[in-house]
A and B are shown apart, each in its own frame.
Chain A
Amino acid sequence: MSAVAVTGIGVVSALGHGVEAFWDGLVGGRSGLGPVARCAGRAGQVPPLDLRAVARSPLSRRIDRASLLALAACRLALADAGGLPAGTDAARTGLSLGSALGNLGETAIFLDRLFARGTGNPFVFPNLVMNAPLSYASIELGVTGPTAFLVEQESSGEAALAWGAEQVARGAVDVCLAGATDELEAVLCEVLRDAGALARGEPRPLDPEADGPCPGEGAAVLLLEPMARARARGARVYARLEPHPGFGVPAPAHGWARDPEPVAEGLAPLLADADVVFAAASGRPELDGLEGAALARALGGRGVPVTAVRGALGDFGAAGALAAAAAALAVATGTVPPTLGLVPPARGGLDVVVGAARPADIRVAVVNGLARGGLCRPLRLEATA
């Protein structure tokens, strides 16, 4: 198994497009959340994209929003890395994308017509397969190697990054784009609002007083390649990404694990030398309670800084990919961005960074992917210098 280098980062987020806008926003403690009319409330919405600059092929004329966000993140990651390494073979190039819910917007449009007229819309249907973002991105970028689409609720981003890193590590590909996408969608907001599952004000990740998350959207993609190849071509390396296969814990199949102990047990070896943890916390009490207790146990009183990007970006399945992008940047710059919304003390007595970003000597960052149904998908990033 070879070491995996992160050589490019592409992000489309409520804080803006590209690494600079994303990282400046996070480090500056800016919130990407604001009033969004189609969600009838606060949400984290990605600023408009230049559709034709992102989706260039005539085959992409009907591209959906989740696919567009993913493709934009792919293009930004490639641009950030100065393009694919010279001489890259398309058949040795991989692509791994994830999403929790896919194209909900057009699913609702398709169903509305089906219920009204009894017929399906043949022009919309191809966009409704879960892997549509993978199809569009592989066509636009000419990727013909191994590809996958992973669907893992709140940890869809971590899952797709793990699959991509695994392909690189075992030599199945020479380079791989990996990340995730999820769109902010009116029907989803309606469902969550009907259920009273959203924050009344700002979301407050890891705050014991938090009353819910705030919906969001975004995509992040990392360019991954074998460390030796990256070094040989003198590429900038943000961090080393270690694929982790994840693990399960007892939990209600549709909800959050209640016992933090098995989560802590699985995380402990990964956290032993962690210098920062990017938490999954969103302000959802069941998730934050589980994560706060599990991290407190796994860290065993070690004062490791913790931060949670969902406070600034909102909650969506792909957010873990944006957390991984932030973790790679934290490792590269020695900076921990603050968590928005939290008023200390945090759950579990954790040392959650609030207010200003905190400079730190970061060798190891852990992204703590957690999803309902008892799924743990941690990622570990290491400094390479």
Chain B
Amino acid sequence: MPAVAITGLGAVTALGGDVPALAAGLAEGRCGIGPLTLFAHAGRSTLAAQVPEPAAGIARALPRATARRLSRADRFALAAAGEACRSAGLTPELQRAAALYVGATTGGMRESEEVYRRRRAAEERRFRLSRLLGTPLATHAAVVSQALGLFGPRATFSTACSSSALAIGAAAAAVRDGRARIALALGTDQLCRLTYAGFDALQALDVEPCRPFDRERRGLSLGEGAAALVLEDAAHARARGARIRALVLGDATTTDAHHVTAPHPDGAGALRALVAALAAAGVPPEAVDYANAHGSGTRQNDAVEVAVLRAVFGRRLARLPVSSTKSQVGHCLGAAGAVEAVATVIALEQGLLPPTMNLRTPEWPDLDFVSSAGRRAPLAVAVTSSYGFGGHNVTLVLGRAESGR
């Protein structure tokens, strides 16, 4: 079976509009969570990790009528996918046959909310279909496919907060099974009133910037953005002289079958995902150097996640660096899995441990939560996990590209 290489990266996050900006933000320990200004919200929470609007030229490959209908999440997707393909050095011919797997949760909801509000407020006399064509989640994949000329296999996954981690797993499977030599995995989501009000109503939002693993943590901070990874048959990458940034060693997905929003109290499904991903990678737990946690900052998630890590890593957990990238870029929902996979690749490439920000009093003092920025350590293998509403769990095992590859 072909080894799966990562040869390109792209990211649009609250830390900046590309991968270098994300890498710098991770290294400096910047927190991108600030006041919510995109829309008015009357609830408890006032914070979000907002992303600056991508440059106007982002849609220039598309006809004007298409460009006009793009949602913010489409534009994030275009920016991240374009950066990933460029950084992988893909030619139009390679892109033509490449597969495309996308994870997202709300599509063009922000724009559609406004169309719906105006119609209900009688500011419009009828619905105009052309303004709602960007609503469906599958639109992101269509936009990226048409702008970048990707005409291989294509799918869009929506499993809440694990959506784009599942898309990465699908891309890795396509490369391993030989259905595609190159597959672009992408996650994208934008802040919208619906998700913001929904999480706030569930009292799942922290009124301060989220504090994963802190004794005082009160919930998550919503974010937005997009991230993309070019996955490629490693032999194909070497043959065309592409730089291999990291390897996808294994992945697994499981289901809790427990509750529509709450995780399984024992983390049974999350535990099976981590164990199965390590088994698929052929990596023993003692070989793992870093865990990029789901780390949403909710009471339940973090407790369950620590229990899962403890069950797998045992006493070694005290020496296993763990961090939550959500403390810097917020919870990017459908994009979270891909954003965190890119952060994990940066960690492997640069031997740099991303920090957990806003962590003052760890609830589990025996763990190494990487509380300060800029910590360096040689890393060979890292795991990154994503857990979604409905008990959907995905774990990815990523490895440093070996020298000479």
Contacts and interface: CB of A to CB of B under 8 A. Distances in A.
Interface of A: 1, 59, 90-91, 95, 100-101, 107-108, 110-112, 114-115, 118-122, 125-132, 134-136, 138-139, 141-153, 156, 159, 162-163, 166, 170, 187, 190-192, 194-195, 197, 245-255, 262, 371-375
Interface of B: 41-43, 62-63, 65-66, 69, 99-100, 104-105, 113, 116-117, 120-121, 126-129, 132-139, 141-143, 145-147, 150-160, 166, 170, 173-174, 177, 179-180, 193-194, 197-203, 252-261, 268-269, 272, 388-392
Most chain A C-beta atoms within 10 Å of own C-beta, residue among B127, B253, B269, B390: B390
Contacts of B100: 248
A131 B159 CA distance: 5
B42 A119 contact: yes
A141 B201 CA distance: 29
A147 B392 contact: yes
Contact of B152 (A110, A128, A248): A248
Nearest to A94: B255
A373 B143 CA distance: 8
B194 A375 contact: no
Contact of B139 (A107, A111, A162, A373): A373
17 contacts: A90-B257, A119-B43, A130-B158, A131-B159, A131-B388, A136-B260, A143-B257, A144-B257, A148-B159, A149-B157, A163-B155, A246-B154, A247-B151, A252-B65, A252-B66, A374-B151, A375-B154
Contacts of A153: 136, 138
Nearest to B99: A245
B145 A373 contact: yes
A135 B390 contact: yes
A65 to B, nearest CB: 15
Most chain A C-beta atoms within 10 Å of own C-beta, residue among B41, B142, B157, B159: B142
A120 B133 contact: no
A130 B66 contact: no
A250 B157 contact: no
A253 B143 CA distance: 5
A194 B126 contact: yes
A190 B120 CA distance: 12
Contact of A112 (B120, B146, B254, B392): B120
A350 B120 CA distance: 44
Nearest to B133: A254
A139 B253 contact: no
Contacts, number: 229
B250 to A, nearest CB: 12
A16 B327 CA distance: 50
A151 B392 contact: no
A244 to B, nearest CB: 9
A154 to B, nearest CB: 9
B241 to A, nearest CB: 27
B153 A247 contact: yes
Contacts of A110: 194, 197-198
A170 B175 CA distance: 13
A97 to B, nearest CB: 10
Given A131-B388, A131-B392, A135-B391, 4 more contacts: A118-B41, A152-B138, A253-B139, A253-B146
A248 B151 contact: yes
Contacts of B146: 250-253, 373-374
Nearest to B196: A120
Contacts of B126: 194
Contact of B155 (A107, A152, A191, A374): A152
B198 to A, nearest CB: 4
A90 B116 CA distance: 42
B132 to A, nearest CB: 6
Pairs of residues from A and B, 5 with the lowest C-beta to C-beta distance, nearest first: A373-B142, A135-B390, A120-B197, A245-B153, A125-B198
A95 B65 CA distance: 38
Contacts of A246: 153-155
Given A59-B260, A108-B116, A126-B389, A190 B127 contact: yes
Given A144-B255, A194-B129, A253-B139, A111 B157 contact: no
Given A125-B198, A142-B257, A248-B152, A151 B158 contact: yes
Contacts of A112: 120
Nearest to B125: A194
Contact of B255 (A138, A166, A190): A138
Given A134-B159, A151-B156, A152-B138, A114 B255 contact: no
Contacts of B105: 129-130
A145 B254 contact: yes
A146 B253 contact: yes
Contacts of B127: 190-191, 194-195
A150 B104 CA distance: 10
Contacts of A247: 151-154
